[in-house]
Amino acid sequence: MTTNNQEPNRIAEVVETTTTGFTAQCYELYGAPALGSLVRVGDPAVYAVVHNVTTAALDLGRRVMARGASEATEEAVYHNNPQISRLLATHIEALVVGHDVGDATKYRLPSSPPRIHGFVYCCDANEIAAFTDGLDYLHLLTSASTPAIDEVIAANLRLAAESHSDPDAFRIRAGKALAAELASDIARLNAILRGIS
């Protein structure tokens, strides 16, 4: 596993890509951003929301074995088996929610997916505030069929609210946008709204 010391926000690299999302391998073991985080990849930027994080053996043919029966702490397992951190990898899966076209951000799928080996960056507060200024991307999230997507949406909006100067105003605006998307599914809407507040 390589590490990236040049750009602190660069956290992963695309290893699998489709029109609607991508999987990226994190440079650091357990170095995934929080669930629901906004990340960007490529130039012009493609934006995506992290909806799943996996840590497993790099070689899928090798099962991870329990090694801690005689160790006092979890940390000791890693300390006494230095190869482990080279044999495991953390991957993030992200749903594409928009992309840049010139100076504008479009809340729809790009004409082609991000490239393999594309560098994945965690968006900073300014980028998050700018991207979530528009909320049309919620349509792509609410229509996604990935597991626990409602939890992902709520997590994304909680994180986004922190990047806005008036988080409460953002939450109200986001709630209204969600209500428009989920007008026919009040139970689902309420579940997400409870997750935001």
Partner 1 sequence: MALDLYQTAAQLDAATAHVGNRGDERARNMDIALATLRGADAATLNARVDAAQGTLAFLPAEAVEDPGVTHSPGPLPDDFTVLAVDGSHIDVNRHLPLRCSLINIGGCRLTYGAAPNAHMFSKPSLRTSDTDLYLADPASSASRQPVEGALMGLVRAVQEADALADAVEEAGSDLPTLALIDGTLVLWELGGDRYPAYVRSQLMGNGMLAALGRLRTMAQQRTVAAASYISLPNSSEVSNLLRLALCDYDPMGDCQRHCRAFIPGDRHCDAVNEFTDRDLFSRTLAPGERSALFASRSSVVRDSYGDHRVHFFYVNVEEEIGRVEVPAWVADSPELLELTHTLVVDNARRGDGYPVVLQEAHEQAVVTGADREAFAAMVERALEGQRLPVYTSQKQRSKRMRYV
**Contact positions toward partner 1, by CB under 8 A?**
59, 62, 65, 78-83, 85-87
Closest CA to 100 of 79, 81, 123: 123
| Token couple for 154 | 């709520």
Residues, the chain, total?
197
Q: How far is the CB of 82 from partner 1 (least distance, A)?
A: 4
- Residue 83 Cβ, how far from partner 1 at the closest point, in Å? 4
Instruction: Considering the complex, state which of residue 81 and residue 146 has its C-beta at the smaller distance from partner 1.
Output: 81
Residues 6+ apart with CB under 8 A from 35: 50, 51, 53, 151, 152, 155
For partner 1, the closer CB: 79 or 194: 79
Distance, in Å, from the CA atom of 23 to the CA atom of 5, rounded to the nearest integer, reads 21
CB of 32 to partner 1, least distance (A): 21
The beta-strand segments (E) located in the chain are 10-17, 21-26, 38-41, 46-57, 88-101, 104-106, 119-122
Question: Residue 18 or residue 80: which is nearer to partner 1 going by CB?
Answer: 80
Minimum distance from residue 78 beta carbon to partner 1 (Å): 8
Pick the closest to residue 119 from 31, 25, 50 (CA basis). Answer: 25
Which lies closer to partner 1 via its Cβ, residue 76 or residue 180? 76
The least distance separating partner 1 from the CB of residue 160, rounded to whole angstroms, comes to 39
Q: Which is nearer to partner 1, 79 or 176 (CB)?
A: 79
